[in-house]
Each structure stands twice: as structure tokens, then as C-alpha cells.
Structure 1
């Protein structure tokens, strides 16, 4: 990739990435407070300020590396919102709703970017139409990837939290022990392409949904 194309990609993806990670983490914080844990709120993480959620490696370095590597899909994460699950009113049950709030936010953003894309696909060509179309496509892609990625049932991903909340107590404790090694496992799956194999079928289902929605604008 030449430098001009790389800079163009950064301009297209920057805003969708910031929205995707910020609203994902803010949704966790809002849900945690709703179910009784004010930890994220008290630490200033219940905010739409993206600076509060940026992880230097997961939010900046890794996505830039993905843009540079041919054939890779955009991948990354934000700084996790602190949640004291013991502080929730019903810890085991409420944990799953706090965890699902993040992917839920990505689903809503995917639908909003799809609506924007549907509107600009048939708009008259102008100075802002083409870049907005590219940005909307990036927004759809990023939110699908983040949603599916976070639903993988490996702690500390959201899917791992959901799995722990659904399992019997003894099995839940066993799965929870994976958490300190979860991100290492995730990176291994990524660089061995296993993660891509796991995610693609689910991503394709949501791309099919997007295509069906876009047909309504035809």
C-alpha cells in the first residue's frame, strides 16, 4: 500500500473506529450503573469522550497494522471498562446484560451506518458523497467485526462473560480462570488465521442482513 492510500484509509476509518469503540465501552458503563455498579461512572469511564477509552495498542497500533497488511480485516479493541460484578444487584444474571450492552451498541451502529450508506448510495455525486459512502461502508464493517469478535466466548471478551453467567457455578469458575490468558489466546488465534475462520460465517450473516436492508433503498 502506498502512503497516500494508507493516509486515505486512516481518514475513512478514523471516525467509524472512534464511534465504534467509544459507544461500545460507554454502553458497558451505562449498563453497569443501571444494574447497580457505579465503578465505571466514578472513574470517569461512563463518557462519550473517546480519549477515555483508547488503548494505545488495541485501538491505535493494531488497527494501523491491519490497514498495512494486505488481506487482513480491521481488528482491535478499546481499554475495558472496569466493572465490579459483585456490586451488581444480581451479579450472575446482570453480568450477561452488562456484557451484551457493548455488542448491542455495535449492532445499533451497524444499522445506522447501513441507513447512511443506503441514503448516499443513490445520492447525486458530489464532493462529500464518495467519502461519506466509503466511511459508511467502513462503519458497517468495523461494527460487524467488533460485535462478532466480542461475542467469542473467551474471557475477558463479552462472549466469555455471557458464557460464565450462563454456566453452573463450578463450570463458570473454571472458564473464568482463562481470563488472564484470554488476550494472548486471542492474538494467537488472530495470527494463525483461526480467528478469521471462526468469525467469517457469522460476519457473512450480518453482511447479508445489510444487503437486504440496502435493497429497500433501491
Structure 2
């Protein structure tokens, strides 16, 4: 008999990409995201810029080979412990640079690709959640006249949620760029959620509606029309959520 995956919400490891300018609150938002989703994270900080309360593992990044072996060892140890269930790669662009070997010619970049694919293979074969934090070069939209390397394309394709972070003065904002809806567990009693939590979900839906409409500032009528289309395939959408979405327009 074929063994089927349990793909209900809560049973699928989180795969998230968070990107933005330096100082835009990426690491802080990651810490907040982990708290909201009950994730037990361990951070590999490649740029030494993570000053959140998340635990940071100490690995040797002094050479490409030591960095590669250190990352693999962290994954192996986290897979075999119940203390953590999520690995955060903070500074993924720097991580990719660290994986470039000291070999000559194109071999240097081939080694990076092989090493990164090996790391992803370890992650995807585990039940660990993974969060990548990077600069704007992790966004495929930032490439106009050039092509991003295959590792960046791979990260964008495998993650289920992408958030962009921006800072305007003392205001920090996060925009949901991509998400894949999880399956509901109809046998599980639905938990009550706070107003703040509901407003955050409404904000995510509004960003998805803006993306669908390809309009940064749609009217309430346009939002309502798109909401009705989304409701046909999303049982989480109800009158309360509709009202909260419209209040955010």
C-alpha cells in the first residue's frame, strides 16, 4: 500500500524566505514569526547581525570547507534533537559566497552549487522547518538585465512563504509576497484567535488580493470582487474576515 504524506496544516515544515534592505527588521520579524508559529529555532548568523533573542549557533566560517562542514553538522545535530525544529540561515547571500571553493575557474562555482544542493537535500529530507534571511538580491524581481544564480532561483521556488521587509523612519513593515495555502484538518477543533492575530491574517489576504489584481492601492469594490473569487476556494474566508480586510483598504 502506498504511504501518503500528511499534508494538513501544522504537519508540513515551514519554508520561508525573508528579504529586505539592511536594518529593515528582517531578523526581528523572523524572531516574531517563530514565536507566532510556535517554532523552536536555531540561527546560523553568517553576517553577525542577528541581535534577537533567538539562539545563535557558533560554527567556524573561516574557510569554504569549514563553513560547509559546519552547516551540515548543524543540520545533522538539529535533526536528532527535540530542542529545536527550525534552522534559520541569517545572511543567506553570504552563506552562498562562503560555499564557493578555492578551486580555479568555473569549478569554484560548480562546487558552490554542489554544496548548496547537498545542504538542501539534507533539509528537505528532514522534518525541519527552514527560514532564509537575505538582502534584496534574494528577490527575483530585483534582476532586470541579469539572471540570478541557480541557488537563488532554487530558494525562491522551494519556499512556501516569502516576506519583504521595509523601513520608513521608525516604521517597519512586512509584505507577504508569496504563500501556499495549507490544507485544513477538519477533525481538529478550530482554536480561537486574538484580534491582533486575525488582523495579521487579514493583512496577508489583502496583500494577496493586491498581487492578484496587480494593483498596490485597489478600491474597496475591487477588493470585494477579488475576495468573492478567493472565497470560492478558501473556506477560511467568512464575513468577519471580509470586514477586517475591507477595514485595511
TM-score range, shorter chain: under 0.3
TM-score for both structures, normalised by structure 2: 0.24
The structure with more helix, counted as a fraction of residues: 1
TM-score for both structures, normalised by structure 1: 0.27
The structure with more strand, counted as a fraction of residues: 2
Larger Rg: 2
